Amino acid sequence: MRRPLVWVSVAFVAGAAAGVHGLVPVQAALGVSAALVPVCVWAAGRARSATAVLMVCAAAAGAAAGARARTPPGPDQLAGRAGQVVEVEGLAVTAGRRFVLQATHVLRPAGVRPSRVQVRGHRPVSAGDVVRVRGRLLPLPVPTNPGQPDPARWLYRQDARAVLVAEQVEVVERGHGPPWLRWPSWAREALRRVYQRALGPPLDAVLAGVVLGIPVPDRDLQEVFRASGLVHLLVASGAQLSTVAAAAYLALRRFRRPVRVVGALAAVLVFAWVAGWEPSMARAALMAGVGVAAGLLKREVDPYTLLAFTAAALVAVRPLWLVDVGFQLSFAATAGLVLLARPLEGAFGNGPQLVREGVAAAVSCQLFVAPLVVWHFGQLQPWAVVANVLAVPASAFVVPAGLVGGLLGLAWLPAALPVLWLAGAGCAYLVWVARTVSSLPAATAHATDPTAGALVLAWCALLAVAAWRGWVRTGRAVVAAVLAVAASVWVRALPPPPLAEVVFLDVGQGDAVVIRTPHGHRVVVDGGPEAEPITSFLARSGGRVDVAVLSHPHADHVAGLAHTLRRFGAGVVLDGGYPHPSPVYAAFLQTVRDRRIPYHLARRGVRVSLGEVDLHVLWPAQTLWQGPSAANENSVVVSLRYRQVRFLFPGDVEAGAEGALVASGEDLRAEVLKVPHQGSRTSSTDPFLRAVSPKVAVLSVGRWNPYGHPHREVLARYGRLGIPVYRTDRDGAVTIRTDGRALWVQTTRPWCCTAWWTAWRTR
């Protein structure tokens, strides 16, 4: 078997993936690994059977490593005391208000072994500080919305095992940690300040992102780079390492080749250390190190073996990196370069070599990362190849120029200004490319749910590449591609069942509801306090918004909706129009004006028809409610009807508005009720609940919220009336599907059994 190390490495990574995803119990994997050791020893001297046996052993060992890494911490560990108030002291591994703490002493409770945790505090700390923290310990976050990527994947990079929500953060001693921990953070911050002094916004932030991977604070600019397919330029990746290595190699061109190679490797390792040692950085640094060692030993480097071995080595050290999107995208892009770039370059004829190389690299990378982008984010950027061909050469200049200018600026800023101005010009060009490409028609293609069609197309493209390279027979590849396309066409040609879907997203302390009608229309009611949950869900489920309803202008309802409209737009916006000085509400109205979205005041009697689905505004009245809690009492109350089933969305109305609704004589009956005001004591009055008479209630509320929601009296009231309550803090997102007669309720939390409820309408 050719390239045995490739197959053994692939088997190890596949086994680790099975263990990480819980497909193999850790005890079984360890037992199989131990049992296969003598078999491996026996087969070591038999060339024909050695690779196969080693693959089996590697798969078993990988499964054991993956399952062990995913095993939850026990009660004897700090991370296993979720829900308790703890007090710990340790070393800050990262900087900021949210930082990773390597606990060294557990002050409370006693007798517990320390673990590494993420601290969510109120004051910034520096890497290397000795910190004492008191607060409540929570388990790692889990996906709580449909299709949501694992939210803890960023914490896996630092091996954090729990989240500590801090009540008090005290810096006991500053700068106590080892230099290798303190200096990278200091260097990043110092370089960022140099860029800030030399360049104005947003070019300083773009330069810091391109050179060091520091997040760009401007959300709109982030969205522009994302929509153009250039967001990888703003994060730490192997591309920066390649540029640094090439620049160092050229700078040492007067020296002999071994000196140049070792110098380039040293520059790569130092840069990866300063930039934070992200998974993509680790991949590039390890590949560079192995390649340099092979060159110094005068051994030939096989790119396929090098890539597979690097993946296996990193997974052996950090098995949970397998679920990290950056890790996956880095290896997919590198695999595209290794497998496809050279043949593509030769297929482009006799044009300029620089152009052929750039186009081949961009096409091969995009082709291999496309399935992952669709899988994780539900979208593609069709113009990404064009954007990368235009932008990547400029970024190859910006990285070394920004790094050299930053280092000069640390010594004397005036000497660095010419270099930094050139780097700033390069950043301005990158911003121009991103804005231009993102403004092109169909700059972002949203893959509707399910994403089978886009994945099938990507798979067919990979089959075509495999047939072209001779990895599989052309006839078999054509037959497989035709079958896949036929299956995708027939699946999409079959009429979908006439179901309406209402998803109550888990957005923490706030409301966000996404409604999909049987004919594909989308309605959004509120957007939650943050943009990410609702925008990510919409991106994975089609993106388009036909009707956006804002119940009232408080931040926990409007903030996420403002970002949703900025990103996706809407066919029409319904708003109660209550005048409120909230900055997020002002941003919402400005977004409506900027996007030229039709705006209508929501008043009693307003109706919107979307095929068989009707929206009926029941509140507020023509004259707005005056008095205490006016913003809440003037919430837009919407009734949604599909055939014989109704949903009622009352916003945050309180007792006054509820009483007025009951007295108005409006038909408030609904099978599904969104619990008003996160279960506040001032809402969900007994007459209102009796008038609605719901079969199911859904409560959107944040876990450990400071308001005491939901109030126990409110829950008792629902219990007395026999109304089952689903809660986003406990059940995750709640999805309700209906055919117009029956309801099916599904929860998202992985530890909750999927709950089904059928309520036939007989009224």
- Taking residue 231's Cβ as centre, other Cβ atoms within 10 Å add up to 18
Residue 396, pLDDT score: 83
- Taking residue 470's Cβ as centre, other Cβ atoms within 10 Å add up to 8
Contact between 645 and 614 (Cβ < 8 Å):
no
Quick check: helix, strand or coil at residue 701?
coil
What's the rounded Cα separation, in Å, for the pair 325 and 446?
19
CA 75 centroid distance within chain: 30
Q: Return the structure tokens found at 667.
A: 């038909």
Q: How many helices (H) and strands (E) does the chain have?
A: 26, 22
Contact between 526 and 558 (Cβ < 8 Å):
yes
What's the rounded Cα separation, in Å, for the pair 449 and 146?
11
Residue 357, pLDDT score: 76
Q: Which of 321, 236, 260 is nearest to 62 (CA)?
A: 321
**Could you list the mean pLDDT of each consecutive 10-residue stretch along the chain, which spans 763 residues?**
80 87 62 59 58 79 84 85 90 90 90 90 88 91 80 81 91 85 86 91 90 84 86 79 80 83 84 82 85 79 88 91 86 84 71 74 80 75 85 86 90 91 93 91 65 54 60 54 55 62 94 93 94 86 88 94 92 93 92 94 94 94 87 95 95 94 93 95 94 95 86 94 93 92 84 42 40
Q: Return the structure tokens found at 448.
A: 């509707």
Residue 759, pLDDT score: 45
- Taking residue 627's Cβ as centre, other Cβ atoms within 10 Å add up to 7
Contact between 701 and 728 (Cβ < 8 Å):
yes
Quick check: helix, strand or coil at residue 117?
strand
What's the rounded Cα separation, in Å, for the pair 427 and 199?
10
Quick check: helix, strand or coil at residue 616?
strand
**Region label for 688, one of left (φ > 0), alpha (ψ between -120 and 50) or beta (otherwise):** alpha
Beta bridge partners of 550: 575
Residue 763, pLDDT score: 39
Q: Return the structure tokens found at 586.
A: 């002002």
Alpha carbon separation from 529 to 130, 208, 505, 510, 701 (Å, rounded): 33, 28, 12, 6, 11
Residue 367, pLDDT score: 77
Which DSSP letter does residue 600 get? E
- pTM of the full structure: 0.76
Contact between 604 and 700 (Cβ < 8 Å):
no
| φ, ψ dihedrals at 639, nearest 5° | -105, 130
| φ, ψ dihedrals at 490, nearest 5° | -65, -40
Q: Return the structure tokens found at 323.
A: 């679920």
Which DSSP letter does residue 618 get? E
Q: Which of 524, 584, 520 is nearest to 554 (CA)?
A: 584
Residue 348, pLDDT score: 64
Quick check: helix, strand or coil at residue 164?
strand
- Taking residue 154's Cβ as centre, other Cβ atoms within 10 Å add up to 14
Asked whether the CA dihedral 68, 71, 77, 78 is positive or negative, the reply is positive
What's the rounded Cα separation, in Å, for the pair 35 and 395?
51
Q: Which of 538, 369, 244 is nearest to 525 (CA)?
A: 538
Contact between 561 and 526 (Cβ < 8 Å):
yes
Q: Return the structure tokens found at 715.
A: 């829950």
Q: Return the structure tokens found at 419.
A: 């270099």
Cβ neighbors of 313 (< 8 A, separation 6 or more) are 286
Torsion of Cα atoms, 264 then 269 then 273 then 278, to 10°: 100
Contact between 334 and 328 (Cβ < 8 Å):
no
Amino acid at 236: A
What's the rounded Cα separation, in Å, for the pair 371 and 382?
13
Residue 359, pLDDT score: 79
Secondary structure (H, E, C), 474-535: HHHHHHHHHHHHHHHHHHHHCCCCCCEEEEECCCCCCCEEEEECCCCCEEEEEECCCCHHHH
Residue 670, pLDDT score: 96
Quick check: helix, strand or coil at residue 441?
coil
Q: Which of 247, 314, 315, 251 is nearest to 284 (CA)?
A: 314
Residue 762, pLDDT score: 37
Beta strands in 555-667 (DSSP E): 572-575, 599-601, 607-610, 613-619, 637-642, 645-649
The single residue listed with the structure tokens 């109205």 is 589
